[in-house]
A = this chain, B = another copy of it.
């Protein structure tokens, strides 16, 4: 095996602009970015980290069943999400909080899921939710849904027409652990076979809970899709510019009818898998220190400061983050518990005698306690 090319990178870990060898084809996307877009990237990352902290605290205080933080993975997520266009569709895993936010989803939807008040959270068919599909927690299953969706996009003729506002790409997020699931591989088979406009976006955060990525693969994961006939690239996932540019390019390719592609974003989950996890059991201090030094937000902050972003800007972002988190906290505490309807009403979309009967039984039974059991 020849030495793999370096991951695409535009920002060195110290925040200086230093495109990696082989990144030329992505450069135009970087050059087209405005200062406002740069600041938006930063804002996205900063606010979501504060949100993550708030949700973790809420969980510690018994207000959530669980919280899966995205701490450390913000650049991979923001870069890819900001590269999508309105008509694109997103199939997330369960950690893409900022992608949801960027697409327009009220994050209370995710809070509801993790607090345990709902199994859903938002309506993907409501245009304000930016085609951000529901979370499915069974690892890898969403890669097939995304691929099937993209097959439909193809059948609808919504790729390769040259119309940038209707040609549609489909992005699917998944983790390094999930790559081992049969479904992810079958998704690549179907995507290649039907030449779907799917962009497989792998966040390699080095861990599947406690299991290191080396257990899933002894060669870099971005090589895997090539054996399925799917082109791929590895990107520094802690470099928001690289994540953006690489995503933008591959999304364009997908919309232009060039078929599926695969992006491996190298990143790191700083902190726990979820609030149920104790990473000190498997992660070394050195590993953590290594990656903390590559923090995606700090890196981009330095870049922006070097470019002369104002103190006022940073103060404003800080304030927005605080407000956002406070708002989430307030609304979380106000979230009502679901009712009996919630148990029965949407299991089927058409009448179902057994459900009708059981709903009536339970309502009756609950009423027998005077309604305040």
Choose the segment among A15-23, A218-226, A266-274 that binds chain B (4+ C-beta atoms closer than 8 Å).
A218-226
Q: Find the B residue at minimum CB distance from A231.
A: B1
Choose the segment among A154-162, A175-183, A289-297 that binds chain B (4+ C-beta atoms closer than 8 Å).
A175-183
Q: Is A189 an interface residue (CB 8 A)?
A: yes
A 66-80 to B, binary, CB cutoff 8 A, 1 in contact else 0:
000000000000000
Cβ-defined contact, A223 with B224, below 8 A = no
Q: Find the B residue at minimum CB distance from A232.
A: B227
Q: For A192, A216, A224, which residue has the most chain B Cβ atoms within 10 angstroms?
A: A224
Q: For A180, A183, A193, A227, which residue has the most chain B Cβ atoms within 10 angstroms?
A: A227
Q: Chain B residues with Cβ under 8 A from A219's Cβ?
A: 192, 227-229
Q: Within residues 171 to 219 of chain A, which ones have a CB less than 8 A from any CB in chain B?
A: 180-183, 185-186, 189, 192-193, 215-219
Cβ-defined contact, B216 with A193, below 8 A = yes
Contact of A185 among B182, B215, B226 (CB under 8 A): B182
In the bound complex, what is the Cα–Cα distance between A215 and B227 (angstroms)? 14
How near does chain B come to A294, taking the closest CB pair, in angstroms?
25
In the bound complex, what is the Cα–Cα distance between A224 and B218 (angstroms)? 15
Q: Chain B residues with Cβ under 8 A from A217's Cβ?
A: 189, 192-193, 228-229
Interface of A: prevailing SS: helix
Interface size class of A (residues with CB under 8 A): 20 to 34
Q: Find the B residue at minimum CB distance from A189.
A: B180
Q: Within residues 119 to 147 of chain A, which ones have a CB less than 8 A from any CB in chain B?
A: none
Contact of A224 among B181, B186, B228 (CB under 8 A): B228
Cβ-defined contact, A228 with B227, below 8 A = yes
In the bound complex, what is the Cα–Cα distance between A219 and B189 (angstroms)? 11
How near does chain B come to A139, taking the closest CB pair, in angstroms?
12
Contact of A186 among B182, B192, B225, B226 (CB under 8 A): B182
Q: Find the B residue at minimum CB distance from A195.
A: B218
How near does chain B come to A154, taking the closest CB pair, in angstroms?
15
In the bound complex, what is the Cα–Cα distance between A226 and B4 (angstroms)? 13
Q: Find the B residue at minimum CB distance from A219.
A: B229
Q: Chain B residues with Cβ under 8 A from A228's Cβ?
A: 217, 219, 224, 227
10 residue pairs of the A-B complex, CB under 8 angstroms, read A180-B186, A189-B216, A192-B217, A192-B218, A193-B217, A193-B218, A219-B227, A219-B229, A223-B227, A227-B227
Instruction: Identify the A interface with B (CB < 8 A).
Output: 180-183, 185-186, 189, 192-193, 215-219, 223-229
